[in-house]
Structure 1
């Protein structure tokens, strides 16, 4: 985290009143506001504490680490998606309508929080093997459950997840970058490889772990390129 430079981050402190209770949600909301204003790379526990008008150590009782803080902020923002009246949590009018609504809901969320959205496209600490990476396992689990309940075989549901998320992340990351968001990798607390965590809350992810962890990047690139070239060919017919 860089503290020096001609444009040092200015932290606006908001001293909580004596009646204000410092809890996890308050901290996550303050963290989301901080990233919206300054970007994720400027976020540290010390700076967030300063923004809240408290010592950084007091945050650790509710948020044990910066990684946990980032996870919580992603889920906080994802709550907006689940609360979007235009987005259905399960297919009501077919899976195409479900995906259409979900895609537009994610785009609205990304454009509302362009500096937070790149966090969504990072590896989930509990399942760093997910390909392509999406930090919200709740979203992945919901997505897979919606498609399998619509008749998709497990292999087809995972293939759909790969194609759908690759398209969305690629397009939306370019959109938020145009709005000034940094889309490079977000550093973690350490450089050590992460192991699978507790996935008991995500039964679909747990059941389809082998399929989700397969590296089919080369094949998917070729398939997507062929589909694109075929579509472009229709423009001159």
Structure 2
């Protein structure tokens, strides 16, 4: 292979593109080296190993949220701020459905960092932003915990539904589902069309509205 000059950023961005295309289980240092047209050993000058690479991918995507157009404009209320952060994170999850489960489940650097907003930079941004809107220390921390739990719960399933990896090898899960005799389950059979409707955006918005209302109510007590 022809050696080329690499840096850590280029390797991490290439790894993200690789996983978007082929899935997380296919990512190895050797395969990534092949994609970059370098020997795998060349990657180790910048990345200590696969675990370091995975954490760097998570950091790259999470920090990238700050550049989202929803985040570059100042919010005029804490409700608007939560809506902006939530929808920017949703765009990330739907744009990288094969990586978002890693963001949601990879152990953070500290136990008080909660996915998906799992960097110290994000905790500082989130807490300080809410405090500018009058949140107390306790209210801001409680909102961070509730909000991150909402994001993981709401987005992990959406991301999985978009990723072929969620279906198992060669989509075998879908094949087994299609073979199920629904005549044995009359309620499911009758409601199948409703179950198949894609209401993801509306459900996300409604659940976010419910969360905002709960936070508002808790602050009024």
TM-score bucket (shorter structure): 0.5 to 0.7
Q: Please give the root-mean-square deviation of Cα atoms over the aligned residues, in Å.
A: 2.7
Determine which structure has the larger helix proportion and give its number.
Answer: 2
Partner of 1:117: 100
The answer to whether the 8 Å contact 2:15/2:32 transfers is: yes
Partner of 1:199: none
The answer to whether the 8 Å contact 2:30/2:39 transfers is: yes
1:37 counterpart = 2:21: yes
Q: Give the whole-Å Cα distance in 2 for the aligned partners of 1:81 and 1:71.
A: 16
Q: Structure 1 pair 87/124, CA: closer, same or farther in 2 (3 Å)? A: same
Q: Structure 1 pair 176/112, CA: closer, same or farther in 2 (3 Å)? A: same
Partner of 1:28: 12
The answer to whether the 8 Å contact 1:88/1:98 transfers is: no
SS in 2 for 1:130: coil
Q: 1:71-126, CA deviations, whole angstroms, 9 ceiling, x for partnerless residues?
A: 2212222243211122247x530111111111111111111111111122134442
The answer to whether the 8 Å contact 1:81/1:105 transfers is: yes
1:165 counterpart = 2:143: no
The answer to whether the 8 Å contact 2:94/2:159 transfers is: yes
Partner of 1:130: 112
Partner of 2:88: 105
With structure 1 as the length reference, what TM-score do the two structures score?
Answer: 0.63
Show structure 2 runs of 5+ residues with no match.
167-206, 215-221
1:74 counterpart = 2:58: yes
Show structure 1 runs of 5+ residues with no match.
1-14, 184-223, 232-237
The CA deviation at 1:181 is 5.9
- Paired residues in the alignment total 169
Q: Structure 1 pair 84/133, CA: closer, same or farther in 2 (3 Å)? A: closer
Q: Structure 1 pair 133/109, CA: closer, same or farther in 2 (3 Å)? A: closer
The CA deviation at 1:36 is 0.3
Q: Give the whole-Å Cα distance in 2 for the aligned partners of 1:130 and 1:142.
A: 15
The answer to whether the 8 Å contact 1:32/1:73 transfers is: yes
Q: Give the whole-Å Cα distance in 2 for the aligned partners of 1:97 and 1:123.
A: 28
With structure 2 as the length reference, what TM-score do the two structures score?
Answer: 0.67
Q: Structure 1 pair 99/88, CA: closer, same or farther in 2 (3 Å)? A: farther
The answer to whether the 8 Å contact 1:34/1:43 transfers is: yes
Q: Structure 1 pair 71/138, CA: closer, same or farther in 2 (3 Å)? A: farther
